[in-house]
Structure 1
Amino acid sequence: MTPKIPRRRAKQVGIAGAAVGLVAAGLATAFAVERTLVRRSVNAPGDPYVEEPFADPPYDSELTVTAADGTHLHVEIVEPTAPTTKPTIVFVHGFALDMGTFYFQRKMFTERGDHRLVFYDQPGHGRSSKLKSGNYDIAGLGESLAAVLDATVPDGHIILVGHSMGGMTIMAFAEKYQEWFGNRVTGVVLMSTSARLVDRAKLALPSLVARASAPFFPLWGTAAHLGGGAIDRARFASSDLAWLLTRRYGFGDAKPSPSLVSFVEGMNSKTSVETLTKYLNTLYNHNRYPALAALRGVPVLVVVGDRDYLTPVSHSEEIIKRLPDARMVTIPNSGHVVMLERADEVNAAILPFVEKIS
């Protein structure tokens, strides 16, 4: 005989079931709308980069560099077409991205063939390994950069180019290795970055969620470690929403190239939740104004998009206040991934800067 469910409990179960049904229906509708928006955007005519082969640009050699914390860093090197005494240019990418960040700068300098180029994936990003234990911190990223420089540029001059967290990495490197600047490091390009803590409401999370969940980031790290695979699968299922968020928060133009958006979202999606959560705390506590003092002895170029939501123009202006001899270039109608969204304008700013140093 089937046991009877008390009337009050039956009512509660019915309400709960209805609520679950409504939530499920709402999510299904939301995902359908998102999918429609993405498909319309991706298939819109006039995409200038629809035929661009973003994956796996050529290189002359690759190696694995082991950082002090045991992280294995994937490095690719592009050699000049002829022997040169010009500085080696080392590129340092940002949060939730990889060396593909500098696709158009890599393409330009490779075609010119007059500089040696070094690219690497930051710990937990791209083809580099994750930390075996503990949380990531900006100081540790500075140590990783030091390991890459020791392994790939044992002598000669160096120009460092950093985007977003990559710029912070250069600051952390400068904080510990001030003697390199003006001696080995003869130029620095800082793109879409900040010398102070980043507003947690803007780090690729909706502001309300970021503010509400900030106290629980240590718990997030544990949860990601235990269930990162499940969370990653959920992220994959909501890739249409991720594409729309990437377009909204990464780009300044209302209708950027869909191919560029997909390229950036692809880099984002390959970065595990475990890595993302372990980086958040250090990004929220980043403050390296004193480290900028080490850069005063070298030429510095600061580049930022005028519609950068994550590291707005005001952050670059603060850097300039502390580096009055630095040059700042603001790129119109562009967002956080300015070096991709407005590649021609960014290259036009970087090339004469590099040539003057060389």
Structure 2
Amino acid sequence: MGRTVAGADGAPLHVEIDGRDPAPVTVVLSHGWTLDGRTWGPVTRALVAGRAPVRVLRPDHRGHGRSAAVDPATMTLEQLADDLAAVIAALAPDGPLVLAGHSMGGMTLMALAERHPQLFERVRGVGLVATASGGLAQATLGLPQRAAALARRGERALYGSSRWLAKPRLASPRALAPALSWLLLGERPSAQARRLTAEVIASCRPATVAGFRPTLDAHERDAALATFADIPTAVLVGTRDRLTPVAAARRIHAALPSAQLTVLPGAGHMLPVERVAEVAAPIARLARGAVDQAPARSDQPA
């Protein structure tokens, strides 16, 4: 079921809602840059079919998916954090929460901890999936330094093209699929992983791609991870992740040693579609823990 919720500044945001309603715990899944809530679809289906009685919220970030196009000046992680707080206030105003974020979605959770720490009094678990706490301005995509610098210059030139920015979508999925497989997917991805990755990114607005790039480069939130210190936290990364490599996950773990770090051999950046079971399992475990911690309802026997 889809709903439209006002973001922190009133921007219309699309949110998919799955699972039980009401449920003893709400799981909120935050997607990555150039993606949308569809990339959390396989994990959502696994969670809803599992043993933990959960309700799942999958918002599309501003400028992404079925959420509204917005002024590029509002395309910041700080704004995404405020939007996520607004979505939670509208659709899950009370009760235990489990939050999981993939890539930019994980960075959004860190910004949420920085800007809305009081919200984490309700959070019973956090999943940080193929994400980073900083250092993205120096990312090389696994390329030699010179090649990475050339790629970044080409990227900046493209982002400065008014003709490119005016396009309603990036390209056809077929045109992008080969490059996306190299950049984002690991060894032997399924047909579903290849198809969903290409379809979602191909439909992204070029203005969204360009607009969010500066906030990713500026992202440095090791200190914000302290908010998660007393919350069960799972950190997942693939060994073939070019965007947020294993070193980025180890940096998170160094700042948050209480977290459980899982390194998935052969996996790329798109863990929610590549390694559905391995991603769903720790989130489900966090949700079951949240259910176990939830107080009994007053209308049921203690």
Same fold (TM over 0.5): yes
TM-score calculated relative to the size of structure 2: 0.87
Q: Which segments of 5 or more consecutive residues in structure 2 lack a partner in the other structure?
A: 292-302
Matched, 1:195 2:133: yes
In the TM superposition, residue 109 of structure 1 has moved relative to its aligned partner by 1.8
| CA apart distance, 1:89 | 0.4
| Structure-1-length-normalised TM-score | 0.74
Could you tell me which residue of structure 1 aligns to residue 294 of structure 2? none
The alignment status of 1:277 with 2:210, answered yes or no, reads: yes
**Residue 77 of structure 1 is aligned with which of 17, 35, 44?**
17
Q: Percent same amino acid at aligned positions? A: 32
Q: Separation in 2 of the partners of 1:351 and 1:232?
A: 34
Partner letter of residue 20 of structure 2? P
Deviation, structure 1 residue 301:
0.8
Which of 237, 244, 247 is matched with 2:181 structurally?
Answer: 247
User: 1:170 aligned to 2:170?
Assistant: no
Of structures 1 and 2, the larger Rg is shown by: 1
Residue equivalent to 1:212: 153
CA RMSD of aligned residues (A): 2.4
**Bigger relative CO (Cα 8 Å, ≥ 6 apart):** 2
Distance 2:279 2:92 in 1: 25
Cα gap change, 1:330/1:248 in structure 2, threshold over 3 Å: closer, same or farther? same
CA 349–126 in structure 1, closer or farther in 2 if over 3 Å, else same: same
SS of alignment partner, residue 244 of structure 1: helix
Cα distance between partner residues in 1 of 2:91 and 2:141: 35
Give the partner amino acid of 1:228.
L
Q: Does 1:263 align with 2:196?
A: yes
The one of 126, 129, 142 aligned to 2:65: 126
Candidates 223, 234, 247, aligned match of 1:301: 234
Q: Does the C-alpha gap of structure 1 residues 272 and 231 become closer, same or farther in structure 2, counting only changes over 3 Å?
A: closer
- Equivalent position of 1:44 in the other structure: none
CA distance in 2, matches of 1:72, 1:230: 21
The number of aligned residues is 286
- CA shift, 1:174, in A, is 0.4
1:189-233 alpha-carbon deviations (Å, 9 max, x no partner): 000000003145439xx735433246x47x935x34x65345857
Alignment correspondent of 1:20:
none
1:252: how far off? 1.2
Secondary structure of the residue aligned to 2:54 is coil
CA contact (8 A) 1:164 1:193 kept: yes
Look up the equivalent residue of 1:99 and give its one-letter code: G
Matches of 1:76 and 1:232 in 2, distance apart?
Answer: 21
Q: Per the alignment, in what secondary structure is the counterpart of residue 112 of structure 2?
A: helix
Please tell me the residue identity of whatever aligns with 1:102: W
